Amino acid sequence: MTYEPLRALRVLTDHDVRFVVIGGVAGRLWGSPTLTNDTDVCCAADAENLQRLADALVELDARLRGVDDDVQFPLDARSLASAETFTFTTDVGALDVLAVPAGTRGYDDLRANAEPFDLAEGLVVSVCALDDLIRMKRAAGRPKDRIELEVLAAVRDVRDDAAD
């Protein structure tokens, strides 16, 4: 299976989708050594942005993950507004789209503290703040999140020490 998070993020950016990178990719960008096999984003939930997201998902050949292939899911703003979380399989790997990640109030909450990261060849994306990522992991509370909390706290300590 192909996993190309930069390509997924570039397609979202090319479609002018307003989003913040969260999850494991955000953790890696902040310095976590933990590997991930999906790309998680929190998107603005207004109809215009959801339609741009739908267009990007069509380009990525997105399909709902965990459902039979014969289940039809129209990729449009109305369908994307019907739930707060979608997990997709795409041509570039797993892509999870969340409107309100655990422990947050959604896109505007995360965007307020997000920082731009220049990933490659002019691809600049907003990445959730390290403290916000820690907040989301704490609120999610799954075993893998509790483990990653320790890692992210250590990353924050190293970054704080380097800043002093």
151 phi/psi in degrees, rounded to 5:
-65, -50
- Closest by CA position to 106, among listed 50, 144, 38, 32: 50
pLDDT at 144: 94
pLDDT at 97: 98
What b/e readout covers 13-23, taking b as 16+ CB neighbours within 10 angstroms? bebebbbbbbb
Contact 42, 35 (CB under 8 A): no
Q: Which residues contact 146 (CB under 8 A, 6 or more apart)?
A: 137
Residue 75 CA to residue 66 CA, distance in Å, equals: 16
Please say whether the structural domain 5-158 has been given the CATH code 3.30.460.40.
Answer: yes
pLDDT tens for the chain, residues 1 to 164: 689 999 999 999 999 999 999 999 999 999 999 999 999 999 999 999 999 999 999 999 999 998 877 778 899 999 999 999 999 999 999 999 999 999 999 999 999 999 999 999 899 999 999 999 999 999 999 999 999 999 999 999 999 989 88
pLDDT at 72: 81
DSSP result, 131-151:
HHHHHHHHHH--HHHHHHHHH
The pTM of the full predicted model, rounded to 2 decimals, is 0.95
pLDDT at 163: 87
pLDDT at 67: 86
